[in-house]
Structure 1
């Protein structure tokens, strides 16, 4: 299965999917990693976290118009619900995710 097809299948989930567009060489991208781990620990089975390396998946990054990294997006049922470029802090992501989880 092509990466793009796999990506589309994952974001079609009924539970929110947090997508982190990153690159290995990006320092702010490394700083968001603990935030994503904490989110996954807090929300367990209510969300899915997916990391997309823009160097290896430029087609997906271009398709969603990722202009800078890190970029975090939240999808639900295949639809983009929220997006932010730059470092995102845990309290902000937690508040946003609670809205989409309670809407399930």
Structure 2
């Protein structure tokens, strides 16, 4: 089964959220996730988009969700796969992998 290229969107900020002091920054988490997913699902396409919640795109779903992260005081980074929240604060690879496999991704 051919896997569909999914979009993984990571919402975060340069400044760590107050409960995330000892965790990596949202940007570091984004880079770490990209490396981990690339290793686990070799040669399977996916797209990672990082959105700074304090400087989101000027319109669209990503802007709306960035505002929601701030308004609802969500722990960031918030990780979405195809619009579904799969991680918040300190995302777990196991949950992210499980969601990717629903889209046909096969571990290497």
What's the TM-score, normalizing by structure 2?
0.60
Equivalent residues of 1:19, 1:50 under 8 A apart: yes
User: As a proportion of its length, which structure holds more helix?
Assistant: 1
2: CA distance between counterparts of 1:49 and 1:40? 11
Q: Secondary structure at the match of 2:36?
A: helix
Aligned residues: 84
CA RMSD of aligned residues (A): 2.5
Q: Secondary structure at the match of 1:45?
A: coil
What's the TM-score, normalizing by structure 1?
0.62
The alpha-carbon distance between structure 1 residues 29 and 95, as it changes in their structure 2 partners (threshold 3 A), is same
1: CA distance between counterparts of 2:81 and 2:9? 6
The alpha-carbon distance between structure 1 residues 29 and 101, as it changes in their structure 2 partners (threshold 3 A), is farther
Q: Match of 2:94? A: 91
The alpha-carbon distance between structure 1 residues 58 and 87, as it changes in their structure 2 partners (threshold 3 A), is farther
Shift in Å at residue 54 of structure 1? Answer: 1.1
Matches within 5 A, 1:70-89: 70-75=77-82, 80=83, 82-83=84-85, 84-89=87-92
2: CA distance between counterparts of 1:99 and 1:70? 22
